[in-house]
Amino acid sequence: MAITTYPWLLALPKVELHIHLEGMLEPELMLSLARKNGIQLPFNTIGQLYEAYRFNQLQDFLDIYYQGAQVLITQQDFYDLTWHYLKKCQQQNIVHAEPFFDPQTHTARGIPFGDVIEGISAALTDAREKHGITSHLIMCFLRHLSEIDAFNTLEQAKPFLDCLTAVGLDSSEKGHPPEKFSRVFNQAKTLGLLTVAHAGEEGPALNIWSAINTLGVSRIDHGVTAIDDTKLIDYLVGTQLPLTVCPLSNVKLAIFPEMSKHCILNLLEKGVCVTVNSDDPAYFGGYLTENFYALSQSLNLTQTQAHKMLVNAIQASFANDNRKQAMLSQLTNFLNSNKHSMI
């Protein structure tokens, strides 16, 4: 994607709230880790992997997503995976990120929980100290597994609560409504963790209501099917409950047939607190800058709209008030210095 045509998009200070670290396994990194760890994959070349990255639906993506995650074995692997994303943050001027990780994907393979979270956390700390990139880590439960399994994962997380800010809910939405995990989310909240949940991606607006009412979420991840429910739109506008929308992902997984049909700017104009994110960029064809670029190309995104969604992301983040104010000032200063630039 030729984002070099719009260098200001790269320089624009950005915040990302919906990014899966396991979704950072680009073909080169996946094959490199597979060779290092002696993991046999059904793909031997970069070309075969890129061909496998053609999906028709969410489950097709999840199949290769979990298959690829098998190459992550050591604490250093999780550090390297996270650092790969953080280098992208530095290149794209993402100044704050709140990444997800899926521990059950790894502990089910016998990988110690501590190796996963300590590798990730070390990279996040290094990025903050070396590059000023702030972050908050979110542990997701896999909704296709049982709530008992989620409780076991939360128990494993207890020694590492100082590394975590929130819990989330991801994986296949169909057949696994949010209320399936209401008790484990309640327990997470008693431990001082915030909550977010994927809802309203391939599932109906009813799942968004359920995430709000049974999980008590601070944000909805995706949430695009809210457009089908006028009462829900009114609620989202009134409460300013954020939606972390992922445009390229939605098109890649056929939630929308093409970017020009995406509802994100419609939601924005209605007053919903929408944000732009990249989801699983290694698989979906673009990082955060590329998502903004795609919106500018297909939906004529204006600088005013981009500014509003970035302000939304800052305000919807789990950063403290001082950090939020610093990011807002950084964004305002940039836009004042580049007010004649066009998307």
pLDDT in tens, 304-335: 999 999 999 999 999 999 999 999 999 999 99
In a domain? residue 278: yes
227-235 contacts, C-beta under 8 A, 24 or more apart: 227/263, 227/266, 227/267, 228/204, 229/205, 232/205, 232/208, 233/267, 233/270, 233/272
Global pTM reads 0.95
- Where in the sequence is the domain holding 245, given as residue range(s)? 223-316
- Tell me whether residue 18 is annotated as binding: yes
Q: What is the dihedral of CA 286, 292, 295, 301, to 10 degrees?
A: -170
pLDDT digits (tens, 9 = 90+) for 145-202: 999 999 999 999 999 999 999 999 999 899 999 999 999 999 999 999 999 999 999 9
The larger pLDDT score, comparing residue 67 to residue 302, is at 302
Are 183 and 204 in contact by the 8 Å Cβ rule? The answer is no
Number of structural domains (the chain) is: 1
In a domain? residue 12: no
Give the model's pLDDT for residue 340. Answer: 57
- Tell me whether residue 136 is annotated as binding: no
Are 226 and 232 in contact by the 8 Å Cβ rule? The answer is yes
Beta bridge partners of 19: 279
- Tell me whether residue 229 is annotated as binding: no
pLDDT-based confidence at 3, cuts 50/70/90? low
What is the spatial distance between Cα 96 and Cα 89, in angstroms, rounded to a whole number? Answer: 8
In a domain? residue 236: yes
- Tell me whether residue 279 is annotated as binding: yes
What integer is the mean pLDDT of 15-23?
A: 97
Give the model's pLDDT for residue 206. Answer: 98
pLDDT digits (tens, 9 = 90+) for 92-120: 999 999 999 999 999 999 999 999 999 99
Give the model's pLDDT for residue 343. Answer: 56
pLDDT digits (tens, 9 = 90+) for 228-240: 999 999 999 999 9
- Tell me whether residue 106 is annotated as binding: no
Give the model's pLDDT for residue 338. Answer: 82
In a domain? residue 265: yes
Give the model's pLDDT for residue 341. Answer: 60
Give the model's pLDDT for residue 45. Answer: 78
Asked if 201 is an active-site residue, the reply is yes
In a domain? residue 321: no
Confidence check: pLDDT of 137 > 70: yes
- What value does the mean pLDDT of the chain take? 93
Chain CA centroid to CA 239, Å: 22
In a domain? residue 268: yes
In a domain? residue 244: yes
Question: Residue 284 is which amino acid?
Answer: F
User: Could you give the percent of the chain with pLDDT greater than 90?
Assistant: 81
In a domain? residue 259: yes
Q: What is the dihedral of CA 122, 124, 130, 133, to 10 degrees?
A: -170
Catalytic: which of 22, 201, 202, 290?
Answer: 201
